[in-house]
Structure 1
Amino acid sequence: MTEPLPSEPLKDFLNTIRAGEVRTGAVISVEDQEVLVELEGFSGPGKAMGRIPRGDVTRKAIGHPAEAVSVGQRLTFEVIAVDWRLECVWASASACEDPALRAFLLGLRCGATHQGQVQSVHNFGVFVNLDGEPADQCTGFIRGPELSWRRIDHPEDAVAAGQRVVGEIIDVDTRRGQVQLSLKALHEDPLVPFADQAGLVTTGRVTKLIPFGAFVRITDGVEGLVHNAEFRAEPVEHPGQIVSEGDEITVRIVEVDLVRRRLTLSARNLPQPRMRHNS
């Protein structure tokens, strides 16, 4: 069934609104999960409504939106999207609650580099105090996979609190007041030089055993999988029958997949003078 279209005046008004722009409005309702506002600037019949999800009311920790806003209060917010089905806009007040921080964030661009000092290191990523940001704001964040081309067990294997870092800006989020950085983006993917090296025989060190094979590092930041069937002709139930973590073995590059960043290796029919045989 086709959804009814908004009235022509409201439709015309909504057509003037773009995601990312700043609007104002008065709070008309505070609910558990959202705050409703009446957008200023609409002169037609009815109301132009804005909906602010609970998570976009403020960046402060609150138990209920009523702790941050009240009915009748005038808010400034960033438009997230125009919702034609509900005839409203989705908005974020948190994106505008700190004008100095917002101005700083809008002055950044994706692809540029930025420096800062690591504030804290967690298992899910790293927070960075960015140079030039408003005082006492922590707006930089580096996800674990963006720290290094190397496989690391914990972000602290790549950086430490207090360390100076330079990263490439990969996202600017005004709603969360956060800049996502990538340290590895400033370095060439070490897998690229192996793109046309299928058939190359080289040596590597076993870094991890899994039930169906073993990961082998052939150079810093480049690891490939040797499947159980690629150790020797006879069946192998577990790579631990053949190798141990830390063993240096000889492997042949079978396939290089740059898109999925996968390297397939084989150790079959290759001399293994340093391979430990447990079976």
Structure 2
Amino acid sequence: MSIKDLNQTAARVAENGTIVASESGQGSDVNPTLPEDFGSLLNVFEEKSSSITEGEVVQGTVVSVTDQGVIIDIGYKCEGIVPREEFANPDGSLKVNVGDRVDVLIKSLENSEGYVVLSRSDAVRIQTWANIERAHAENKTIKGRVIERIKGGLRVDINGIQAFLPGSQVDVRPVRNLDSFKGKEIEAHVVKFNKKRSNIVLSRKSAIEQETTARKTETLAKLDEGYIVEGQIKNITEYGAFVDLGGIDGLLHVTDMSWGRVQNPAEVFKVGETVQVKVLKLDRNKERISLGYKQLTPDPWSVVPELFSKGQRVRGRVSNVTDYGAFVELGDNIEGLIHVTEMTWSKRIKHPSKIVSAGQEVEVVILDVDIANRRISLGLKQIEPNPWDTLTERYAVGQRVRGKVRNLTDFGAFVEIEDGIDGLVHVSDISHTKRIKHPSEALKKGQEIEAVITNIDSENRRLSLSIKDLEPSAWDKFFQDHKPGDVVRGRVVRFANFGVFVELAEGVEGLCHISELSKERVGKPESAVQLGQELNFKILKMDAAQKKIALSVRAVSSREDRDSVDVRSYTNNEEAMARLGEIAGFTGLSASSKESENK
């Protein structure tokens, strides 16, 4: 009760001897209907006033606002005053109105003007420190407003008291732009404080984690597999999206977003978007939740057996092109794959994009329908006839063809004679006379060549070609031009313990047995002839099938001998014959031959 109220009450008591309510609307501490003398009332008021002391925080009522300050009735014998600026907003307006109840600190019981000196800011400061201490002790959050960014974090104002929020404690995830928090009101835990030094350290991260844990526990208790729940897209990656279900995130995998193909999850969902999803799997121990979005709609594959069958021709639109093939959309969320090997009968495709492109309409043949694995295999090349099936109608063994060398391997060269048809020239079929170890010694990739077809195998898609068969071999020509009994000129090229090898023409060699080198007995071939020596030899025997030629020096040593020699006597002398392998060097010589050559 203020002095004003007390004076008004006293006047009424004097008038009718009864205590009534004051005009200010504030009731007295005694029942107004009970008659009591003014002395008793005054005693009660003085007892209450004497209990108010300086430094105490009390609650009062705003009774008026003057130029001097805000006048507050705190129930003392005189009213108190608070400077206007302590209630002023940044724009100059006041935060309080007449009749508001506010907490203030009593700084002095009376000033020169008869007012109790009060402070709103000091009262708030004391209460704030009490709240900070209580929040720290009970691990509760406290509210504050971010003032500015400083070194290492943010400065936060808690009702006029400055606190420090480290950058690492701003959020559960690293924050790149701390300036974005400026001016925002936050809730944080008090990590530590020192009132004497006015030092307060906060953690918003801890508060978020505490709230998240509580929400997570509550959410997990309500979830179960098969439930349809609502959540918010929190993050999007290349493999899916994380959905916040309330304190816990669930993974919506890209394969569960749509029954069709999803190349980029960001094209389907946006961060912050609210979606309904189905709980597919729930692991409470590991706190892992798998979600599905497509499961909320019917599965289009349920009607695939009715719509598509093997061998059927269908049309579709190319939806995606990859390194291994192209996906074709056959219907709503139904796709098939044209593997790169099924695009053309030709084996040379650098990339499927050389054949088809995204958005292109194509006609394809269904090669296989796998409902269990949700796969439809398609073929593009099957729209056209297989060139291998009619190969024998266009080509025959012995026919000369032209083509381009497409590839070189260790065993030969692949030659394209038409689109989709490659033939192999084996390394042994490149030359009659030269010993070729690798096709690159005679051919180059991209080179136009002529060859002869030696074999056609349409069933296994094999075509054999030969370059050397374009011309007769040196052996064939020699056997055409010569016969047993002819005398020919030859050069000694190799020694063996059983005779010498003689070059008769380029690529053609014969064997002169040691017994045919001279009329006299010869122990070693080197004692009768020299390497590189040219001599006349008489052909004793010729075997075209095995490419053997038997020679004799002794048979041409004299005219009489030449006339009298009977070549038939040598026809069964196998030792006098030269084998193809021995002459060309494609097979190993006998141990004795090698020993002779080493010598």
Which one has the bigger helix percentage? Answer: 2
Percent of matched pairs sharing the same residue: 32
Partner residue of 2:311? 111
User: Which residue is equivalent to 1:172?
Assistant: 369
Aligned residues: 183
Deviations for 1:207-226, whole angstroms, at most 9, x for unmatched residues? 11112111100011111111
In the aligned structure 2, how far is the partner of 1:246 from the partner of 1:229?
Answer: 20
Aligned residues of 1:169 and 1:179 also touching (Cα < 8 A): yes
Q: Does 1:191 align with 2:388?
A: yes
Corresponding residue for residue 441 of structure 2: 241
8 Å contact from structure 1 (residues 115, 165) kept in 2 = yes
Out of 389, 399, 407, the residue aligned to residue 208 of structure 1 is: 407
> Which of 207, 217, 228 is equivalent to 2:427?
228
Contact 2:301/2:334 (8 A) holds in 1: no
1:154 aligns with 2:354: no
Q: CA deviation at 1:70?
A: 7.0
Q: What are the equivalent positions in structure 2 for 1:1-279 lying under 5 Å apart? A: 60=256, 68-69=280-281, 98-130=298-330, 133-134=331-332, 137-151=333-347, 152-195=349-392, 197-233=396-432, 234-270=434-470
The offset of 1:101, in angstroms, is 2.7
Change (3 A) 1:98 1:174: farther
**Deviation, structure 1 residue 105:** 4.3
Structure 2: tracts of 5 or more residues without a match = 1-254, 258-278, 284-296, 472-599
TM-score (ref. length: structure 1)? 0.59
Contact 1:105 1:179 in 2 (8 A): no
Distance change in 2, residues 1:100/1:227 (3 Å):
same
Distance 1:195 1:101, change over 3 A: same
1:126-149: CA deviation from partner (whole Å, max 9, x where unpaired) = 11112xx12xx2511011111100
Distance 2:449 2:350 in 1: 22
Distance 2:451 2:428 in 1: 13
Q: Which amino acid aligns with 2:411?
A: F
What displacement does 1:115 show?
0.9
SS of the counterpart of 1:150?
Answer: coil
Q: CA deviation at 1:166?
A: 0.8
Report if the CA contact (8 A) 1:257-1:263 is conserved. yes
Cα offsets for 1:18-72 (capped at 9, x unmatched): xxxxxxxxxxxxxxxxxxxxxxxxxxxxxxxxxxxxxxxxx649xxxxx73579x
Amino acid in structure 2 at the alignment position of 1:148: T
> How far apart are residue 111 of structure 1 and its match?
0.8
Q: Unaligned stretches of 5+ in structure 1?
A: 1-58, 62-66, 72-96, 272-279
Separation of aligned partners in 2, 1:199 and 1:107: 50
**SS in structure 2 at match of 1:111:** coil
SS in 1 for 2:316: strand
Bigger relative CO (Cα 8 Å, ≥ 6 apart): 1
In structure 2, do the counterparts of structure 1 residues 245 and 232 end up closer, same or farther at CA, with 3 Å as the change threshold? Answer: same
CA shift in 2, pair 1:98/1:217, >3 Å? farther
- Counterpart of 1:28 in structure 2 is none
CA distance in 2, matches of 1:203, 1:149: 20
Please give the root-mean-square deviation of Cα atoms over the aligned residues, in Å.
2.8
- Please state whether the residue corresponding to 2:470 is helix, strand or coil: coil
Does the Cα contact within 8 Å between 1:102 and 1:177 map onto a contact in 2? no
Distance 1:156 1:228 in 2: 34
Partner AA of 2:446 in structure 1: G
Tell me the TM-score normalized by structure 2.
Answer: 0.29
Cα separation, 2, equivalents of 1:128 and 1:226:
38
